[in-house]
Structure 1
Amino acid sequence: MITISELANEKIKEMLEAEAAPELFLRVGVKEGGCSGFSYNMGFDDAVASTDQEMEFNGLKVVVDGDSMKYLNGLEIDWKEAGMGGGFTITNPNATATCGCGSSFRTATEAGNPAAEPC
């Protein structure tokens, strides 16, 4: 299970509305790569696979592929305002190491592997 803050939920819904495609939903996943071993992947999609896990957060449909869920269980997505705008933040209890940029991570299982590329 993942959690999306109320503010992040509102921002994602605004972005979806701007797409003007009611069939779209938020897809969250991971892919191999990045400074620490895995990179987060968030974007809009319109196709659900049989191995996907579907969730709903206050009217927002979120889909996570089955392979990614083991790395994202307990994940928290939030929105933080900053002086020049704002952005999404991700807190992942499965990550034992993260890159300074915050967009990649490593789990305890992968902790023995060298970083894929420098930050």
Structure 2
Amino acid sequence: MLTLTEAASRKVAEIMSKQTDPVAGLRVFVQKGGCSGYSYGMSLAPEIGSGDWVGEFGGVKVLVDPESAPVLQGVRIDFVESLQGSGFAIENPNAVRSCGCGNSFETEGTAAEGSLPGEMSV
């Protein structure tokens, strides 16, 4: 499915440790948006959803919903720190196009269909 690097796992664990409400894990998902059609999202999830893929990296549970799973196959999430700043970096081997800002992307499947796998177009 996807991979969380050691640096990303440490950062997520640090963020989770500061939460007052229970956190089941890091939810990684894909949503419509951006100039290339889709963008990544990450949030702290209070519970594991029915049908979620669950992986564990450095003690951090990562959750992916069934609709996002095909698009996130093979994705690598890292946490990078540089002079320009710090943040999570997502590498997606399935992306065939991304926008200049790097916040949105398109895969071959989503470009052809115009929707996420399993999503109906109306």
User: For the superposition of Structure 1 and Structure 2, which TM-score range results when normalised by the shorter chain?
Assistant: 0.7 to 0.9
The normalised TM-score by structure 2 is 0.85
Residue 66 (structure 1) aligned with residue 66 (structure 2):
yes
Q: Which amino acid aligns with 1:52?
A: D
Comparing 11-20 with 81-90, which one deviates more in the overlay?
Answer: 81-90
Corresponding residue SS for 1:14:
helix
For structure 2, the residue ranges without an aligned partner over 5 or more in a row are 115-122
Contact 1:75 1:93 in 2 (8 A): yes
Deviation at 1:23, TM superposition (A): 3.3
Any gaps of 5 or more consecutive residues in structure 1? 115-119
Aligned ranges for residues 28-107 of structure 1 at < 5 Å?
A: 28-107=28-107
Tell me how far apart the structure 1 counterparts of residues 35 and 22 of structure 2 sit (CA, whole Å): 35
* Secondary structure at the counterpart of residue 77 of structure 1: strand
**Consecutive aligned runs of 4 or more in structure 1 exceeding 4 Å deviation:** none
The offset of 1:84, in angstroms, is 4.8
Identity, % of aligned pairs? 44
The Cα shift of 1:22 comes to 4.3
